Amino acid sequence: MHPHPRASLACLTTVLLVAACSPDSKQPDTGEAPPVETLRVEEQTVTSNNHGLFDVDFEVKDGERVQLVLEDPNNGYVGTQLLIDPDGNTALDRDDWSGSHNELTEALTGAQYASTLNWPVREEDGTLAPGVWTLSGEILDRTQEPNKHADVEATILYRTDDAPTAGTAHVVMAYCTGVRDQDGVVEAMEAGVAYWQELYASWGITLTVEYTDIEVDPALPDTYEGVEAYGELLAGYDDYPLLMIVGDDINGDSYIYGEAAAIPGPATATRISAVEVSWLAHAGANGKFSDGEIGILGETMAHETGHYLGMFHPVEDGWQFWDAVDDTPECNSMSQCQDKLGANLMFPYPVCTSMVDCAPQDELSDGQTGIIQRYVGVD
């Protein structure tokens, strides 16, 4: 265990919010009692010490996986340093990953507005032993200096899942102001969703998608900044859906095809709880969707949601950084990586075999599939 100045809990409030149980309707009728999936949610407010450090203690029950969403009410930066199991052993240590060429979770790098740790990430991270776990974190102000005696709002989601290799995710797709009025956009989005659903079904995840509208300027800000209206929309749901926003473009660039707020993103309602998609970047110069463009649109939805559920690119453009999944092939040059990973959904860019044709990116390794199935927002 690495030495770590543990924060004292100057303030701790705990609220148990939800205990929802429902039978898993996907299971065949075997005459046995149906498996039960349970999501319970707990909120705490903790206060940092003189070094901007804080602890969140949370009690895990047998068979649960967790997601911790840390928010700074003052919009500074917050992140995870350590995760300690009930026996005092370190399950996750930021020092082990800083400077690494492998990427496991952005919870360790911290983020403005909200930081999300979903645990476990990989199969080798093990299951959560029952008992009291501790997340030790750090909060910085907007100048990135330690924020002393500052409140941190922690939301802990606990998921019990008797069918860990199958699940359902509820998606809310929201059209920004005026986007529905653009010719062909709604039809293209729905066709893209159908392909996205097909891809995720092949990895054991059923997507249920509903459509709505949101009064947000379709010139979207980047997802790291987010929009208050995203959290307000999600607050109206009680089942922690994934939010996909459809706008004209993102961050003033006509060519950013889509963006996820974080890896992983929060299952709770915050201003950054969204994946954004640009219809224009996919429709191209003529603003109309070809079949090939709809295919890439569906893969964009699947790719960006993949980030939100916890997957990194198997290799980053530049070929010097990789994900932390053991079964994605190693590579270290463009040609080698395109050959080995070009068909992977999470490859950093489409691999185009000609000027006008790009190869499908419809593969995930078992290790990658396990990551998205362990996301707490997937039941």
Partner 1 sequence: MRRALAFLAPLALGSSALAAEPTVALTNDNVVIQALRARSAVPCAALADQPDLAAELYAIAEADVAPAWVSLRAASCLAERFSTDGRFVGWVSPWFTDDERGGLGLAALTSSLANPATRSVIEPLARQAPLRWRDLYARRLDAADAAP
* Interface positions with partner 1 (CB under 8 A): 178, 183, 217-219, 248-249, 252-257, 280-287, 290, 292-293, 296, 303, 317, 348-350, 352-358
Judged by CB, which is closer to partner 1: 91, or 331? 331
Judged by CB, which is closer to partner 1: 37, or 293? 293
Cα–Cα distance for residue pair 141/145, rounded to 1 Å? 5
Give CA separation, 25 vs 18, 33, 172, 223, in Å. 21, 12, 21, 34
The CB-of-301 to partner 1 minimum distance in angstroms stands at 13
CA nearest to 368, candidates 337, 338, 347, 349? 347
Residue 33 burial (C-beta neighbours within 10 Å; 0-12, 13-18, 19+): exposed
Rounded (5°) CA angle 147-106-158: 90
The CB-of-246 to partner 1 minimum distance in angstroms stands at 14
The DSSP string of 199-220 is HHHTTTEEEEEEEEE----SEE
The CB-of-244 to partner 1 minimum distance in angstroms stands at 17
Judged by CB, which is closer to partner 1: 1, or 356? 356
Cα–Cα distance for residue pair 174/162, rounded to 1 Å? 31
Judged by CB, which is closer to partner 1: 229, or 256? 256
- Determine the number of helices (DSSP H) and then strands (DSSP E) in the chain: 7, 19
The CB-of-193 to partner 1 minimum distance in angstroms stands at 18
Judged by CB, which is closer to partner 1: 263, or 296? 296
Judged by CB, which is closer to partner 1: 21, or 359? 359
The CB-of-118 to partner 1 minimum distance in angstroms stands at 23
- The label of the residue with tokens 């990116």 reads 361
Among the residues of the chain, which ranges form H helices? 94-97, 185-201, 228-234, 279-283, 291-308, 334-341, 366-374
The answer to whether the beta carbons of residues 42 and 243 sit under 8 Å apart is no
Neighbours of 346 (CB within 10 A): 23
Judged by CB, which is closer to partner 1: 33, or 355? 355
Joined together, the tokens standing for residue 75 give 């919009």
The CB-of-360 to partner 1 minimum distance in angstroms stands at 13
Judged by CB, which is closer to partner 1: 85, or 222? 222
Q: How many residues does the chain have?
A: 379
State yes or no: cis peptide before 73, omega within 30 of 0: no
The CB-of-317 to partner 1 minimum distance in angstroms stands at 5
The CB-of-344 to partner 1 minimum distance in angstroms stands at 13
The CB-of-288 to partner 1 minimum distance in angstroms stands at 8
Cβ-proximal residues to 146 (8 Å cutoff; 6+ apart), any chain = 48, 51, 52, 53, 138, 139, 140
Judged by CB, which is closer to partner 1: 82, or 277? 277
